[in-house]
């Protein structure tokens, strides 16, 4: 109660949301490896292990992509002062998409191995990633408009993080479009998304904008 006898408004700290999200990310990457089954013929084990190349490829790609989502999820929530029901709901939907990725990965690995249905598998896989990217953009915009971000981030950091998230939609979307015509090209474009998005984002630590940006 304050001096006027009025209780202060409830604020939910983001700690529990981040902890729950970390748990979902951990489960998702664990499920990825469970999709890789040992070859049935142990009499020709080395050859059998070699035939699982598509599973190894899909596993590595998805593990690094989920890791990338985890990194950028922390970037997003490091400057969140508190969360409301809208953020909790949107983050839940994001986690639902991430939890679907092991299935998309298994689909992609199976299609690569069978050399059938690859176009559809790439579209489902890319679509799952695009949905995750779209939810990142929706959550970031919600955080901005609901004034839930800490002032220490600064306008420059808010803009640069938002640009990085928006670029993900275009990048993954181009992979989906390419995959509809040349599936392997779509996978390659999506894989090329990895190194760029592990790089730090200018302004994510609250740095000041360059003088040219401030002048503008």
In a domain, 10, yes or no: no
Residue 209 has pLDDT above 80, yes or no: no
Number of domains within the chain: 1
In three-state secondary structure terms, 120 is helix
Nearest to 168 by CA among 207, 149, 140, 208: 140
DSSP state of 117: S
Identify whether 40 is part of a domain.
no
In a domain, 103, yes or no: yes
Tens of pLDDT, residues 108-153? 999 999 889 999 999 999 999 999 999 999 999 999 998 898 888 8
pTM score, whole prediction? 0.86
Q: Does residue 163 sit within a domain?
A: yes
Check if the beta carbon of residue 209 is closer than 8 Å to that of residue 155.
Answer: yes
Structural domain boundaries, residue 144: 15-34+49-208
CA–CA separation, 69 and 110 (whole Å): 24
- Give 48-86 pLDDT, tens digit per residue: 899 999 999 999 999 999 999 999 999 889 889 889 999
Question: Would residue 151 count as lying in a domain?
Answer: yes
Question: Is residue 126, in this structure, part of any structural domain at all?
Answer: yes
For residue 215, tell me if it sits in a domain.
Answer: no
């Amino acid at each position: 109660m304050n001096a006027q006898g009025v209780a202060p408004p409830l604020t939910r700290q983001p700690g529990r949301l981040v902890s729950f999200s970390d748990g979902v990310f951990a489960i998702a990457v664990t499920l990825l490896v469970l999709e890789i089954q040992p070859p049935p013929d142990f009499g020709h084990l080395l050859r059998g292990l070699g035939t699982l190349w598509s599973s190894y490829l899909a596993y590595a790609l998805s593990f690094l992509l989920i890791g990338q989502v985890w990194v950028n999820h922390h970037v997003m929530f490091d400057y969140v002062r508190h969360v409301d029901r809208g953020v909790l709901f949107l983050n839940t939907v994001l986690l639902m998409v991430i939890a679907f990725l092991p299935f998309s990965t298994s689909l992609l690995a199976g299609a690569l191995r069978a050399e059938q249905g690859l176009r559809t598998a790439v579209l489902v896989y890319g679509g799952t990633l695009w949905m995750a990217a779209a939810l990142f953009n929706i959550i970031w915009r919600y955080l901005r408009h609901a004034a839930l971000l800490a002032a220490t981030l600064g306008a420059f950091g808010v803009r640069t993080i938002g640009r990085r998230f928006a670029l993900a939609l275009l990048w993954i979307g181009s992979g989906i479009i390419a995959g509809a015509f040349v599936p392997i090209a779509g996978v390659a474009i999506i894989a090329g998304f990895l190194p760029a998005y592990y790089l730090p984002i200018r302004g994510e630590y609250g740095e000041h904008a360059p003088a040219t940006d401030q002048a503008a």
